[in-house]
Amino acid sequence: MAEPKKILIAGGTGFIGKTLVHDLRNAGHEVRILSRKSNTANTYIWNPAKKEIDVAAFEGVQVLINLCGSGIADQRWTSERKKDLHESRIGTNALLFSKIEHMPALEQFICASGINAYGFDTDDIQHPETDPFGTDFLSDLVKQWEESADVFAVKCAVVKVRTAVVLGREGGALTRMLPAIKMGIGSPLGSGNQYMPWIHVDDLVGIIIHSINNQLNGAYNAVAHCDTNKLFMRTLAQQLKKPFFFPAVPAFVMRMLFGEMADVLLKGTSASNQKIVSSGFSFKFGHLDKTLSDIYKN
C-alpha cells in the first residue's frame, strides 16, 4: 500500500471528484476539498471569481489536484462562454499557483486536461501524447490549460490527465444521451463515423490514484477505447433495450443548434493509451459492452 498523503482537491464535489474523494479516503489518504460552500469536514472555502482561497487548506498538502472546468458541451460557444471555459481552467490553475508559498511540502500537481488536445481527425490515427496540439479553439484551450499547469514544475511533478468522454451512472456524457435513447429516438450524429474516445469514471479515478501512488510526471491520455459515434449510440440503445433505427441527425442541423460547438459532436479524435498502460496501469473497463453493462446493471 502506498504511503498515505495529504491531498487537496479543487472540484472535489463534482461527478468525478466525488468518486475520487471516496476512493482516496478508502485508501487511507487525508483528503481536503476546496468548495464554494463549506458544509462538511475537511472542506475549505474558495471563490475563483473573486480570487479568494482559505489558505489553511494548503497546510501540509503533498498532492494538489485541480478537476475544475466548465462543461465543454453544456452551452453554445458565445464569446462569454469561451471566456468562462478559459477562466474555469486556466484561471483556477493560476489562482492555485499564486498560493504556492503556502505549500512547502507539495510533491505533485495533478490537473485535468482534455483528449481534444490533438484536434479533429477523419482517419484512424491513435495519437500518442508526443503528437502536437491541434489548431482549433478546443485544442488551443487544452494547450493553454496544460501550460498553466506546467508552471507548477518549478516546485513539483506535474501530471496532466487528458480525459476522454467520461461514462458513469451519476453524471457525465451519458446523462445527456439518455433522454433520446429512452424515448426510442436514438440516432448517430452527422456521419456517425467520427471517433468517440471514452473512459469509465472508475478507470479515470484509478489513473489519478495510480499517478499518485507511482509519482508519475507528464501528460497521459486517459482513454479506455475509441468507438465510432454510430457504434456507441447503437450499443447504448441495445443495453437499454431500446430501438435504434432513426436516421442520423444531419450535420447542418447540429450546426444550427450548437454553432461552433457542434464540432465536438460531429468531428472525432482517437488517442492511444499505451503510455499509461506502460506505466503499470490496468483498465477495468476496456470494452463498450462491459462498460455500459456495469453502469446499467441494476
Q: Are 29 and 3 a contacting pair, CB within 8 Å?
A: no
pLDDT digits (tens, 9 = 90+) for 25-57: 999 999 999 998 876 778 999 999 999 999 999
Domain count, the chain: 1
pLDDT digits (tens, 9 = 90+) for 96-121: 999 999 999 999 999 999 999 999 87
Residue 234 domain-assigned? no
d(CA 20, CA 182): 29
Residue 127 domain-assigned? yes
Residue 242 domain-assigned? no
pLDDT band, very low/low/confident/very high, at 174 (cuts 50, 70, 90): confident
Set of cell numbers at residue 270: 482517437
d(CA 207, CA 39): 28
Residue 187 domain-assigned? no
Residue 142 domain-assigned? yes
Residue 29 domain-assigned? yes
pTM over 0.75: yes
d(CA 87, CA 230): 33
Q: Count CB atoms within 10 A of the CB of residue 182.
A: 12
Question: For residue 24, what are the domain limits?
Answer: 6-166+199-223+270-284
Q: Tell me what percent of the chain is helix, strand and coil, each rounded to the nearest 5.
A: 40, 20, 40
Set of cell numbers at residue 226: 475509441
Residue 243 domain-assigned? no
Q: What b/e readout covers 260-271, taking b as 16+ CB neighbours within 10 angstroms? A: ebbbbbbbbbbb
The enclosing H or E element of 149 equals: helix 137-150
More confident residue, 288 or 187: 288
Q: Are 294 and 169 a contacting pair, CB within 8 Å?
A: no
Residue 72 domain-assigned? yes
The domain that holds 76 is classified in CATH as 3.40.50.720
Q: What is the pLDDT of residue 1?
A: 57
d(CA 190, CA 273): 26
SS3 127: strand
